[in-house]
Structure 1
Amino acid sequence: MTGDERRPRMRGFSTWTTRRWLRVGVAASLVVLALLGTAGAWVLGRTGSISDELVDVRSPALTVAIRLETAVLNQETGIRGYGLTGIPEFLTPYEQGLTEQAASLTQLTKLLQDDPAGLDDLKNVRDAVAKWQERVARPVAATPAGSPSPTAVRRATEGKAAFDDVRAALNSQQEQLRADRVRVRDDLRDTMALRNGVFGAIAVLIAVLTALIFEGLRRGINTPLERLGADARAVAGGDFEHPITPTGPADLRRLGHEIDFMRQRLLRELALSEDTRLRLDAQAADLQRSNAELEQFAYVASHDLQEPLRKVSSFTQLLQRRYGGQLDSRADQYIDFAVDGANRMQTLINDLLDFSRVGRLHNSHQNVDLDKVLERTLSELSVGIEEAGAEITHDPLPALFADPTQMGMLWQNLISNAVKFRRPGETPKIHVAADRDGELWRFTVTDNGIGIAPEYADKVFVIFQRLHTKDTYTGSGIGLAMCKKIVEFHGGAIGIDPEYHDGTRVTFTLAPRPPENPGPSTVPEAARTDAEPVR
């Protein structure tokens, strides 16, 4: 067969999957084992049949033939003695021989019923014995006792010849039976040797099949899987350039190609993510530098704004005290506007500074008992609470790892907002609750105030966003934005409960420990010193 003729067959084998190889291997093994089992069964059956023939037919037949010869010899001895002496006791062996002869002939006929040659020999023996008995034994036995039988003397020569024929027939029969027994014994020995050879061949073939199966599994499945696993471990160890080499049956090669495709896809994604990470690192560095610059600018600007703002506020207040009532009403109004604007600007700057300090200056985390922080906050807000007649209750609050200053600012903004935005003519009722929510703590601050419309639920947490004019409710619009920043800095989230309609319910979560602690501020200490505003 040429190489061109072999190549399509090899390509055909290369498309076989593991399942097909296993099916073909198992089918071939079963066929071989079935053939070997059939041969073994035939050899066992043959051995059994020959053994049964030797034990149950040939050996017993020879033994019975010898007993038949003994019975005939006893008859001849008895007849000869009786014929010479006429003594009746000599007839006893003759009569016993007749009985044994009949039994032996019956048994031999049964044993040799499947052996035509043996039956022919038995017929010859029976005919020779019948001829001797007819010509000699019966006439002599019929002679009266007491005197020698004249028949025996007269037929002595004929009787000897007849009995020699009997002996010859018996000897021929026994020789044939011995030859048959030897032949059957040789057949048994040869069959047993064949049986041992067949079962030895079965054992060898089973061992060979087992070795072939294990070697096929090792080469076709174990080795490709080990190589695939080694390549996968190399890739998992960080060597993403390491190629996956597909080997083995078609399905394992297909798996190797898919894993290699996944490796190439992962390599492309990693390259893309690395490029993205580098750009993000650069952007983060730029953003960090920009934030530091903005933070420093905010502090410097706010610090520098304090002095001119203080002068504007001081001189407008002096102008109001000195010239109040001396000018017309419009001038007094203008002076009031200037004083109010300066004061609100100072308040706005101070609130903005407090907002920027969250997570930067106030970053001293420790175990904080929120019950004590809330009680301290209520004490600080006691004047406003008493003026509003507010009723404030709270559940037992947990202790968290947090910044105590920020926790105070959180409670202060939430409680003061609940007191501030109360319904006219109705006693403010405020309740603080805390429940465990998985790994977080969920807090709610519920009041019976004017409430927040659902469309403004997100807007109220944006810095400087106000839902009311400054004449209706005072404030800078920075309180809830500061609460949002504090909560998020401590790994939580804050929002307005849209399903509560009898006021406002602010709900927020806090982690037992914050996710990470930002580093210290890069603003110089000199820029952090702020003068007290003029009130």
Structure 2
Amino acid sequence: MTGDERQSRTRGLSAWTTRRWLRVGVAASLVVLAVLGVAGAYVLGRTESISRDLVDVRSPAFTVAVRLEAAVLNQETGIRGYGLTGKKGFVTPYEQGVEEQETNRKQLTELLRGDSARLKDLKTVQDAVTTWQERFARPVAAAPSGVPSPLATARAAEGKDLFDDVREALDRQQERLRADRVQARDDLMSTMALRNWVFSAIAVLIVVLTALIFEGLRRGINRPLEQLGADARAISGGDFDHPITPTGPADLRRLSGEIDFMRRRLVRELAVSEETRLRLDAQTADLQRSNAELEQFAYVASHDLQEPLRKVSSFTQLLQRRYGGQLDSRADQYIDFAVDGANRMQILINDLLDFSRVGRLHNAHQGVDLDDVLERTLSTMSVGIEEAGATITHDPLPTLVADPTQLGMLWQNLIGNAVKFRRPGEAPKIHVTADREGDLWRFTVTDNGIGIAPEYADKIFVIFQRLHTKDTYSGSGIGLAMCKKIVEFHGGTIAVDPAYHDGARIVFTLAPRPPESPGEDTTPEATRAEAEQAR
């Protein structure tokens, strides 16, 4: 075989897949096992055939031949005694011998059926015996009894020669039957030895095939898979630059190549992700810095606005008290506008500060009994509730891990809105419920007030969003926005129930525990200042 032919054959084998290797291996193993099975079956059949021939034919034939010889010898003994003495008693062994001879002849004929050579030997014996009987035995047996037969004496020599022919035929028959039996026994022994060798070879070949199969599976499948697993573990351990070496059959090499392609793509994606993460970290740092600056700016702006607003409000009120009635009505109206605007501006700034503090200044999570929080809130709002004649009821409320101050603000805004936006001439009726809904608690605050139009169901939770003028209903438009921020800070959602039409129903959820504990604010100076101002 030339080098090119060897290379071509190697390339052809390298293209074989695991399935093809298994099919070829299984087919070859089945062919070998089939050949061995046929050989084993042949040897077993041959052994059984020889053993059956030896046990059922050769040995019984030899035994019957010996009995046939005994029957003929009994005839010769009886005839010789009768011929010499004339006693009738010697005829009986002769007659019994004739009967036994016929019986043995039939048995031999049956046993040797199909064996023409041995049947020929039997015929030779039978012819010799018949000749001796016709020429000597029967004439002597037919002679009168009581006196020696003169025919026996006259034909003694001829009778001896004829019986010698019978003996020679019998000996030749027995010798050949004995040789056949010995040959059958030798054949049986050699066949049994061959059978043992064949089955030993089958056992050895099965062991060899098993070893070859296991070794083939180990080299062709287990070792490549172990190598692939080791490469995968190295990559999963963080060595993303570790290459995957293709080994084994074509399909496993193809799988290794695809996994390596995926690894290279992941490396590229990770590089892009790392670059993106670095950019995001930089942007996050910029945003945190910007947010901190904005929070500082918002606090400083709102804090610094308090003083000039207080001055404007104070001096405007002084003008109103000192010069009220001294100027014309238009001047008094202008002064009222100025006082009202300054007061509303101060309220807006305070509400904005409260809104910005949610989740930053108030962040003391602890076990909170909402029944107690609601009762304290109602006690705080008792004057307004009594003036409105409101009736407030509630179901048993759960205990949650939350910020008690924020939940107090939540109840205050929701109950306050329900009392404020009541129908003219009708006392407010407010009911609070709580039900477990999966992993959350679902609360409702239902009133019989003026309700909320469906088109405004989302707008009311936007900061500074008002649906009525300040002359109709007071307020800054920040209450429900603060409720939304508090509920979301505690892992829930808040919305208006559009199916309720006899007033307004606010539905919100709270988690039994906060989703996460926010860290301290990044601007401790602003936080301390806000806390000081809050005090």
Q: TM-score range by the shorter chain?
A: over 0.9
Is the 8 Å Cα contact of residues 440 and 511 (structure 1) preserved in structure 2?
yes
Alignment partner of 2:513: what SS? coil
Provide the C-alpha distance between the structure 2 equivalents of 1:201 and 1:289, rounded to a whole number of angstroms.
86
Amino acid in structure 2 at the alignment position of 1:326? Q
Provide the C-alpha distance between the structure 2 equivalents of 1:425 and 1:246, rounded to a whole number of angstroms.
86
Shift of 1:296: 2.0
Alignment partner of 2:524: what SS? coil
Amino acid in structure 2 at the alignment position of 1:238? G
Amino acid in structure 2 at the alignment position of 1:152? A
Alignment partner of 2:167: what SS? helix
Provide the C-alpha distance between the structure 2 equivalents of 1:311 and 1:338, rounded to a whole number of angstroms.
12
Q: How do 1:439-518 and structure 2 match up within 5 A?
A: 439-518=439-518
- 2:27: which partner in 1? 27
Shift of 1:531: 6.1
Is the 8 Å Cα contact of residues 491 and 515 (structure 1) preserved in structure 2?
yes
- 1:243: which partner in 2? 243
Q: How do 1:18-417 and structure 2 match up within 5 A?
A: 18-417=18-417
Amino acid in structure 1 at the alignment position of 2:43? V
Shift of 1:471: 1.1
TM-score normalized with structure 1 length = 0.96
Is the 8 Å Cα contact of residues 361 and 531 (structure 2) preserved in structure 1?
no
Shift of 1:528: 2.5
- Structure 1 residues 532 and 74: alpha-carbon distance in aligned structure 2, compared to 1, 3 A threshold: closer
Q: Determine if the alignment matches structure 1 residue 523 to structure 2 residue 524.
A: yes
- 2:424: which partner in 1? 424
Provide the C-alpha distance between the structure 2 equivalents of 1:508 and 1:11, rounded to a whole number of angstroms.
71
Structure 1 window deviating more from structure 2 (422-431 vs 111-120): it is: 422-431
Provide the C-alpha distance between the structure 1 equivalents of 2:419 and 2:323, rounded to a whole number of angstroms.
38
Alignment deviations for residues 99-147 of structure 1 (CA, whole Å, 9 cap, x no partner)? 1111111111111111101011111101111111111101111111111
Number of equivalences: 533
Amino acid in structure 2 at the alignment position of 1:74? N
Structure 1 window deviating more from structure 2 (118-127 vs 387-396): it is: 387-396
Provide the C-alpha distance between the structure 2 equivalents of 1:323 and 1:248, rounded to a whole number of angstroms.
104
Shift of 1:360: 1.4
Provide the C-alpha distance between the structure 2 equivalents of 1:205 and 1:526, rounded to a whole number of angstroms.
90
Amino acid in structure 2 at the alignment position of 1:224? P
Alignment partner of 1:103: what SS? helix
Q: Percent identity?
A: 80
Amino acid in structure 1 at the alignment position of 2:180? D
Provide the C-alpha distance between the structure 2 equivalents of 1:429 and 1:241, rounded to a whole number of angstroms.
70
- Structure 1 residues 205 and 447: alpha-carbon distance in aligned structure 2, compared to 1, 3 A threshold: same
Structure 1 window deviating more from structure 2 (63-72 vs 524-533): it is: 524-533
Amino acid in structure 2 at the alignment position of 1:527? A
Alignment deviations for residues 58-109 of structure 1 (CA, whole Å, 9 cap, x no partner)? 1111111111111111111111111111111112221121111111111111
Alignment deviations for residues 163-200 of structure 1 (CA, whole Å, 9 cap, x no partner)? 11011111111111111111111111111111111111
Structure 1 window deviating more from structure 2 (185-194 vs 238-247): it is: 238-247
Is the 8 Å Cα contact of residues 395 and 433 (structure 1) preserved in structure 2?
yes
Shift of 1:208: 1.1
Is the 8 Å Cα contact of residues 430 and 445 (structure 2) preserved in structure 1?
yes
Amino acid in structure 2 at the alignment position of 1:380? T
- Structure 1 residues 2 and 453: alpha-carbon distance in aligned structure 2, compared to 1, 3 A threshold: farther
Alignment deviations for residues 507-534 of structure 1 (CA, whole Å, 9 cap, x no partner)? 111111112222223232663366699x
Is the 8 Å Cα contact of residues 91 and 141 (structure 2) preserved in structure 1?
yes
Provide the C-alpha distance between the structure 1 equivalents of 2:339 and 2:204, rounded to a whole number of angstroms.
113
- Structure 1 residues 255 and 375: alpha-carbon distance in aligned structure 2, compared to 1, 3 A threshold: same
Is the 8 Å Cα contact of residues 443 and 507 (structure 1) preserved in structure 2?
yes
Shift of 1:41: 0.8
Amino acid in structure 2 at the alignment position of 1:468? H
- Structure 1 residues 140 and 204: alpha-carbon distance in aligned structure 2, compared to 1, 3 A threshold: same
Provide the C-alpha distance between the structure 1 equivalents of 2:212 and 2:106, rounded to a whole number of angstroms.
60
TM-score normalized with structure 2 length = 0.96
Alignment deviations for residues 13-47 of structure 1 (CA, whole Å, 9 cap, x no partner)? 33332222222222222222111111111111111
Amino acid in structure 2 at the alignment position of 1:220? G
Provide the C-alpha distance between the structure 1 equivalents of 2:68 and 2:47, rounded to a whole number of angstroms.
30
Provide the C-alpha distance between the structure 2 equivalents of 1:175 and 1:219, rounded to a whole number of angstroms.
64
- Structure 1 residues 35 and 526: alpha-carbon distance in aligned structure 2, compared to 1, 3 A threshold: closer
Alignment deviations for residues 421-471 of structure 1 (CA, whole Å, 9 cap, x no partner)? 122223322221111122111111122222222222222112111121111
- Structure 1 residues 527 and 10: alpha-carbon distance in aligned structure 2, compared to 1, 3 A threshold: same
Provide the C-alpha distance between the structure 2 equivalents of 1:144 and 1:260, rounded to a whole number of angstroms.
119
Gaps of 5+ in 2: none
Provide the C-alpha distance between the structure 2 equivalents of 1:208 and 1:368, rounded to a whole number of angstroms.
77
Amino acid in structure 2 at the alignment position of 1:472? T
Amino acid in structure 2 at the alignment position of 1:523? P
Provide the C-alpha distance between the structure 2 equivalents of 1:433 and 1:6, rounded to a whole number of angstroms.
86
Provide the C-alpha distance between the structure 1 equivalents of 2:214 and 2:373, rounded to a whole number of angstroms.
74
Shift of 1:314: 0.5
Shift of 1:258: 2.4
Structure 1 window deviating more from structure 2 (71-80 vs 26-35): it is: 26-35
Structure 1 window deviating more from structure 2 (513-522 vs 467-476): it is: 513-522
Shift of 1:503: 2.2
Amino acid in structure 1 at the alignment position of 2:524? V
Is the 8 Å Cα contact of residues 295 and 523 (structure 1) preserved in structure 2?
no
- Structure 1 residues 328 and 531: alpha-carbon distance in aligned structure 2, compared to 1, 3 A threshold: farther
Alignment partner of 2:443: what SS? strand
Gaps of 5+ in 1: none
Provide the C-alpha distance between the structure 1 equivalents of 2:269 and 2:389, rounded to a whole number of angstroms.
63
Q: Determine if the alignment matches structure 1 residue 436 to structure 2 residue 436.
A: yes
Provide the C-alpha distance between the structure 2 equivalents of 1:26 and 1:496, rounded to a whole number of angstroms.
72
